[in-house]
Amino acid sequence: MLSTHDTGYERPDGPTIAKVLATLDGGRNVLATLGTSDSTYLQASGSVQTGFGLDLQEGSLERRFRTRDRALPLPWVTEAFQRYAQGDLSWRDAVEWEADRIPIPRESWLSSWPAYIALLVAAAVAMWLFHSWWAAP
């Protein structure tokens, strides 16, 4: 699937990939993603005028990489996308990559179900104790 801000193409061919990448203008259209799932994809960001950076994710956030060069030319990016669509990953060795760490927020125990249940039980016990104390003769 190849997608941009407002378009999507199932199983795009080479000319479709080239056309979509050529429409990235750095304004409204700045991102194109080609992938098999939400966790496995190649993504180009930038514009034809300034060049592109590539992000590559291979199954999880722990396997996410980005090109050091964020001004790759359109012809090279187009070829990389077309080869990626065919399952050819040999183009990856032509650029330098760095790990792209996206911080995953840790959930506080206060926002977990056990905390809500404990709070509910504590409130019920408090109401029972208050009622028992108030109703005592």
Phi, psi (rounded to 5 degrees) for 122: -65, -40
Kindly state whether residues 30 and 47 are assigned to the same domain.
yes
The pLDDT assigned to 136 comes to: 61
Closest CA to 64 of 121, 112, 103: 103
> Per-residue pLDDT averaged across 116-136, rounded?
82
Kindly state whether residues 13 and 61 are assigned to the same domain.
yes
Kindly state whether residues 23 and 63 are assigned to the same domain.
yes
Domain count, the chain: 2
Kindly state whether residues 53 and 84 are assigned to the same domain.
yes
Kindly state whether residues 93 and 122 are assigned to the same domain.
no
Write down the pTM of the prediction. Answer: 0.73
The three-state DSSP-derived secondary structure of 35-83 is EEECCEEEEEEEECCCEEEEEEEECCHHHEEEECCCCECHHHHHHHHHH
**Model confidence over 14-35: pLDDT tens digits?**
999 999 999 998 888 899 999 9
Q: Answer yes or no: is pLDDT of 6 > 90.
A: no
**Model confidence over 49-86: pLDDT tens digits?**
999 999 999 999 889 999 999 999 999 999 999 999 99
Kindly state whether residues 6 and 70 are assigned to the same domain.
yes
Closest CA to 51 of 15, 25, 28, 84: 25
Q: How far is CA 125 from CA 56, 76, 128, in A?
A: 52, 67, 5
For 130, the domain range is 107-137
